[in-house]
A = this chain, B = another copy of it.
Amino acid sequence: MKKILVIQGHPRSESLCGSIAREYATAAQQGGAQVDLLDLPRLQFDPILREGYKAEQALEPDLAKAQQLIRAADHLVFVFPSWWASMPALLKGFLDRVFLPGFAFKYRKNSPLPEKLLKGKTARIFITMDAPAWYYRWFNRAPGLRLLKFATLEFCGVKPVKYHIFGPVRGAPEKRLQKFLNEARRTGAQEAK
């Protein structure tokens, strides 16, 4: 049975991101997958990696559990809003704390390339943009997407990483929001197989 882990990165559970995550998760579950949903605002953890990479910072139980779920998953799904062209500090802090050397990758002595420790997994990213039209020119260079897709997930061996950009959602009519939710649901059903 396919194991899917959905990581919801908006600080409000009751947000469009929260709905997208729940719609995807429900559809994937109904489609036959084993689905876990990590709703980050409900987790107890310090988003600040206090010592950087100089010293270890004990993992809170919720983060230890998150590492287990990531390790066990076949497919990772991230949902977050684009704030300042990137993810909220909540999700960035989750990455800083959880995607540690030794868990997500390992430096190798005689190679500039790291050992990728999350190989064999795939991923999908949903980004919502609370933004008017001028924002679109950032689309292809979207830093929040780049840093997660290329510099984090693919760097650790997660591949392919597909994505959806949902926007603008600011002042969007109900019909457009519904379209986004439908797309999340359809994708969840497809990826359950």
Identify the A interface with B (CB < 8 A).
10-12, 15, 41, 47-54, 81, 83-90, 92-93, 95-96, 99, 107, 112-113, 130, 132-134, 138, 141, 143-144, 146-147, 150-152
Contacts and interface: CB of A to CB of B under 8 A. Distances in A.
B95 A50 contact: no
A81 B48 CA distance: 13
A52 B86 contact: no
Contact of A132 (B48, B89, B112, B150): B112
- Oligomer copy total: 2
A170 B11 CA distance: 33
A53 B146 contact: no
20 contacts: A11-B52, A12-B51, A12-B54, A41-B50, A48-B89, A48-B90, A49-B83, A52-B83, A53-B130, A84-B92, A84-B151, A84-B152, A85-B152, A86-B86, A89-B90, A92-B93, A93-B93, A112-B132, A143-B146, A144-B147
For the complex of A and B, 6 pairs with smallest distance between CB atoms: A89-B93, A85-B151, A143-B143, A143-B147, A89-B92, A112-B132
A134 B151 contact: no
